[in-house]
């Protein structure tokens, strides 16, 4: 897995553009904000494909349009796709790259905090279909991920919280000191302190690549990246992906799953409180009613980590350490989801 954290992204891209036939895929928000840079880099508008911002663009229709443009441009197997955007642009561009002419190179240029620390690292590509998220996809690593922390300057607070969810997760699953560092620097992160952002992005990418490198195809170890995601995904689904973005739902998931771990005696009261004190100010816990809890449970019963119809939970067991459990009883889950 190759990545670089750099400031001079545009001149680095110039290099790729000079050497290859290419298609740059981005979304309308990013294009509007960075139009000056993009137009300085690319003269021919046929080399740019602009998607509408948002999850709806991760669709089969949009994918077919990308194939159509690639064919019209007659991109050969030496051609490359430059994916300039957040996780939506990255996922669909990566999928197109992995399938067009049985695979061409693509470069990820992630522009959201979430995509810089998570979705551009790890080689998962995909689209949504029939209402199922990421149901069609491939493992296909970009030939390079170019990360410029300065893109974060134009992100809003909600999108920063989204990335922060995954960043805090890395600390909790792998590196307690990193978790402490993030906790002490939440204000600086929201204030977009460049040095601190660069450090936490670099550290996050290091942790994610370390785990992914040991389990490229998501068959075992990589499951620990799913801390907060069993409950988190069910919350995203309950609210139809509208009330919370992915990272916010993961933060809520980590709050509830940490509570399960405490209730089951896996972690000390001190560690439980430490985690909650950092997470709760970021996203207020919900306090679900019984009907909502039943819906959440139904979603959790479809989680990809489940085994023999038992819900799989990645839970903290020590500072900076997690493990997977299949024996959490429904009563405990229900109680905790209604309690907070």
Ligand X SMILES: NC(=O)c1ccc[n+]([C@@H]2O[C@H](COP(=O)([O-])OP(=O)(O)OC[C@H]3O[C@@H](n4cnc5c(N)ncnc54)[C@H](O)[C@@H]3O)[C@@H](O)[C@H]2O)c1
Interaction of residue 59 with ligand X, rule CB under 6 A: no
Interaction of residue 159 with ligand X, rule CB under 6 A: yes
CA distance 96 to 78: 15
Q: Which is nearer to ligand X, 124 or 203 (CB)?
A: 124
CB of 193 to ligand X, least distance (A): 17
CB of 94 to ligand X, least distance (A): 7
Interaction of residue 86 with ligand X, rule CB under 6 A: yes
Q: Which is nearer to ligand X, 122 or 253 (CB)?
A: 122
CB of 24 to ligand X, least distance (A): 14
CA distance 312 to 309: 9
Binding residue for ligand X, selected from 134, 138, 185, 188, defined by CB under 6 A:
134
* Sign of the dihedral through C-alpha 25, 31, 37, 38: positive
Interaction of residue 248 with ligand X, rule CB under 6 A: no
Give the residue from 124, 21, 23 showing the smallest Cα distance to 77. Answer: 21
Interaction of residue 119 with ligand X, rule CB under 6 A: yes
Interaction of residue 154 with ligand X, rule CB under 6 A: yes
CA distance 78 to 72: 15
Residues 171-200 that bind ligand X (CB under 6 A): none
> 193 burial class (0-12, 13-18, 19+ CB within 10 angstroms)?
middle
Q: Where are the alpha helices (DSSP H) in 8-146?
A: 9-19, 28-41, 60-72, 87-99, 113-114
Classify 105 as helix, strand or coil. strand
Residues 25-54 that bind ligand X (CB under 6 A): 27, 29-30, 33, 53-54
Give the residue from 177, 181, 116, 118 showing the smallest Cα distance to 152. Answer: 116
Judged by the rule CB under 6 A, the positions of this chain that interact with ligand X are 27, 29-30, 33, 53-55, 58, 85-89, 91, 111-112, 114-115, 118-119, 122, 124, 133-134, 151, 154-155, 159, 162, 246
């Amino acid at each position: 897995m190759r990545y670089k954290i750099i400031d001079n992204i545009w001149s680095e891209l110039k290099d790729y553009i000079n050497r290859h036939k290419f298609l740059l895929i981005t979304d309308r928000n990013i294009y509007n904000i960075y139009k000056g840079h993009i137009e300085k880099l690319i003269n021919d508008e046929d080399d740019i494909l602009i998607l509408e911002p948002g999850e709806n663009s991760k669709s089969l229709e949009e994918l077919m349009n990308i194939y159509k443009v690639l064919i019209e441009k007659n991109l050969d197997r030496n051609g490359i796709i430059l994916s300039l955007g957040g996780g939506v642009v990255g996922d669909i561009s990566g999928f197109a790259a992995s399938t067009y002419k049985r695979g061409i190179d693509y470069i990820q240029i992630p522009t959201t905090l979430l995509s810089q620390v998570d979705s551009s690292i790890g080689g998962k590509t995909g689209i949504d279909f029939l209402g199922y998220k990421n149901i069609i996809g491939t493992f296909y690593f970009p030939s390079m991920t170019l990360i410029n922390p300065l893109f974060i300057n134009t992100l809003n607070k909600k999108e920063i919280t989204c990335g922060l969810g995954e960043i805090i997760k890395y600390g909790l699953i792998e590196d307690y000191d990193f978790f402490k560092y993030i906790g002490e620097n939440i204000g600086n992160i929201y204030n977009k302190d460049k040095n601190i952002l660069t450090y936490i992005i670099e550290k996050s990418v290091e942790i994610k690549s370390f785990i992914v490198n040991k389990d490229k195809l998501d068959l075992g170890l990589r499951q620990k990246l799913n801390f907060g995601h069993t409950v988190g995904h069910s919350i995203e689904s309950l609210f139809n992906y509208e009330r919370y973005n992915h990272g916010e739902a993961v933060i809520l998931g980590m709050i509830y799953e940490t509570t399960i771990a405490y209730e089951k005696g896996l972690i000390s009261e001190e560690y439980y409180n430490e985690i909650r004190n950092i997470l709760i100010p970021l996203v207020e816990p919900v306090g679900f009613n019984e009907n909502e809890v039943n819906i959440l449970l139904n979603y959790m019963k479809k989680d990809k980590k489940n085994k023999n119809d038992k819900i799989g939970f990645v839970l903290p067991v020590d500072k900076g350490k997690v493990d997977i459990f299949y024996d959490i009883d429904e009563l405990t889950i229900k109680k905790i989801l209604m309690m907070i």
